[in-house]
Amino acid sequence: MPAKGVTGQEGLDTFPKLLLHNARTLPDHPSIREKDLGIWQSWNWSEVLEEVRALAIGLQKLGLQAGEKIAICGENRPRLYWTFVAAQSVGAVPVPVYQDSVAEEMAYVMEHAGAAFVVVEDQEQVDKLFQISETVSCIRHIIYDDPRGLRDYQEENLHSFKDVQEKGRKALRDAPQAKTGWEETINAGKGSDISVFLYTSGTTGRPKGVVLSHDNVLITARETAILEGLRPDEEVLAYLPMAWVGDHIFSYGQSYVCGFCVSCPESPETMLQDLREIGPTYFFAPPRIFENILTTVMIRMEDAAPLKRKLFKYFLGVAKEYGEAILNGENVPLKGRLLYALGNILIYGPLKNTLGFSRIRIGYTAGEAIGPEIFRFYRSLGINLKQLYGQTEAAVFITVQPDGEIHADTVGVPAPGVEVKIAESGEVLYRSPGVFVEYYKNPESTSETKTGGGWVHSGDAGFFDDRGHLKIIDRAKDVGRLNNDAMFAPKYIENKLKFYPNIKEVVAFGDGRDMCTVFINIDLTAVGSWAERNNVPYASYQELAANDLVYDMIEAHVDEVNAGLAREPGISGSQIRRFLILHKELDADDGELTRTRKVRRAFIADRYAPLVTALYDGSEMTHIETEVTFEDGRKGMIAADIQIRDMQTYEPPTSMEAAQ
């Protein structure tokens, strides 16, 4: 039962076939846009076909063979997206690499994948490649998109993207049959062919190369496009890393399946302005983006004129009371509907317009738990924000929240074609057409993860609630026990704290220990603004983090969380007994966070071992020196004296109180 926009796609089982199809059926429909010199430039599907064909033939002329790997590294750029399909059209496999990875990380992935070609965005990446070229011997050719600063580079194996395309165009002029030959190769492709390697960011150990077939990506992309009724006229902003499976599905897979246009921001810093200009109808963002936007809005409202501030506060209250119910299509009294309509004219409409959210039909968030307050805020404004649960190994979709059944604390019901069950151990298992082929050159991990009957171990602990919705607690292997045998789910506790705007990151300790303790990173934007309004002087993150008033404020948050934890059966034993505020922000460059900004708990525990010891030896102050890596790769030391605070815990309510 195909939906509008995704009809008549039988036999279109690979990306290159879809490209030919889109160029035939939607020749003048925009396919991709980028902002260049302040102006949005777009290419329609027939132009994209021409560009991709020239590139593919050019790559062949340079010696690219079927089965070879071609690494892709850079910000979201049309030419880099074209490289995916050009490579696939000649049977080569694209391997996107995180553009902000340091040289060694990049070297590992390229070496492991055996990349013969690398296509990069600019000089920065070219320099990194030359830096690693001694250790990575498999790279034969490097191709760059932006020529700035590369004029004087003489290396023979370095080519500009335009030159490679020119080679292809020349070959096509000299031998017109090359065009039909290329199309024949495409038509010979099968859905079971390998389409892409996506390296997982790896909270532990080396990244693993997840091998996905065209079927994996396209069936998943198509099923969910049908579920959400996606059409060719959707607008999407491609701003998340190209190496991440989410971007691969939302900005590439679904764009090719539905034919909708994807816009690439001018630069990562202009993303919020570009968002406003494009006004996407279909938008994906990890929770931290929604958090950042909300924090910015709240800070700016603090500085607004009193009347505006009052209006904002009042109508936010109205939205909180009626907004979600209206969005869910429930019964709402007439008064509520009228007030909400007025609020929409005065506050919600203009606010959504400023944020670029006016046209959103479907918004997704995933990757981490989102704070219930944040989630409800957006929904109450009338933005259809939904949670989904996914993994690279599943080509994203495992569960998704159906319209009208949205709960802040669950991730929804199994996506179309996906079966989910809970193992004895509490681990979530799934089986779907999107399930990956294997981990590249790693049969051991493949057989550990993919077991009998095609079931995949997600590594997450969770359960279905009484509404049939999946609820994820934590990584299965992270769920531990305190010495008094109380259950300890670190991420659950961390998330509860992170929902406070003043707290940016949290690391919880407790497995195999006597009590639960936490490291806290304050949010410099939110706490900085608070400091400004309350005349608290500070010169740096470190100084603000050590301030007594900041400690008092965080202590109040921890106290509230403890009170909340006390009411939850099973977990009330792991209330937070001691906490400290870290003297530096956790940073991916120091290896403390993954590239997708997840805390690497074991690494942090090791790096800050003296602090962990201090949390458990009862001391009130401790001294630490830490090595930090600056953005240019140099290292330095910072030293600090850190205060540790004790917290009181709450008794779990007796069954009498709980019944009330």
Partner 1 sequence: MSPEPVQTRIFEEEILSVSDVSLSFGGVKAIQNVSFDIKRGEIRAIIGPNGAGKTSMLNVINGFYHPQEGLIRFKGKARRRMRPSIAAAQGIARTFQNVALFKGMSTLDNIMTGRLPRLEKGIFGEIVNVFLQAAYLGPARRSELEQRKYVEEIIDFLEIQHIRRTPVGRLPYGLQKRVELGRALAMEPELLLLDEPMAGMNLEEKEDMSRFIIDVNDQYGTTIALIEHDISVVMDLSDRIIVLDYGRKIADGTPGEVQSNQAVMDAYLGVPHE
Under the rule (CB under 8 A), what is the footprint of partner 1?
Answer: 37-39, 148-149, 151-152, 266-267, 269-270, 273, 630-632
Q: Which helix (H) or strand (E) holds 142?
A: strand 141-144
What the block records as the tokens of 93 is 């496999």
CB nearer to partner 1: give 151 or 173. 151
Buried b vs exposed e over 290-322: b needs ≥16 C-beta within 10 Å? bbbbbbeeebeeeeeeeeeeeebeebbebbeeb
CB nearer to partner 1: give 10 or 632. 632
CB nearer to partner 1: give 617 or 632. 632
**Least distance (Å) between residue 589 CB and partner 1:** 13
Could you identify the residue written with the tokens 């070219």? 126
Strands 413-414 and 396-400: antiparallel
CB nearer to partner 1: give 38 or 306. 38
**Least distance (Å) between residue 43 CB and partner 1:** 20
CB nearer to partner 1: give 148 or 173. 148
**Least distance (Å) between residue 132 CB and partner 1:** 14
CB nearer to partner 1: give 124 or 163. 124
Strands (E), 371-510: 385-391, 396-400, 413-414, 419-422, 427-431, 438-439, 450-451, 455-464, 470-475, 480-481, 487-488, 503-509
CA distance 48 to 571: 54
**Least distance (Å) between residue 148 CB and partner 1:** 8
**Least distance (Å) between residue 388 CB and partner 1:** 30
CB nearer to partner 1: give 205 or 633. 633
**Least distance (Å) between residue 152 CB and partner 1:** 8
Buried b vs exposed e over 554-581: b needs ≥16 C-beta within 10 Å? beebbbebbeebbeeeebbbbbbbbbbb
**Least distance (Å) between residue 102 CB and partner 1:** 16
Contact 560, 167 (CB under 8 A): no
Contact 157, 142 (CB under 8 A): yes
**Least distance (Å) between residue 632 CB and partner 1:** 7
CB nearer to partner 1: give 172 or 588. 588
Sheet holding 516-522, edge to edge: 503-509, 516-522, 576-581, 635-646, 621-629
CA distance 126 to 636: 26
∠ CA 467-451-601, rounded to 5°: 70
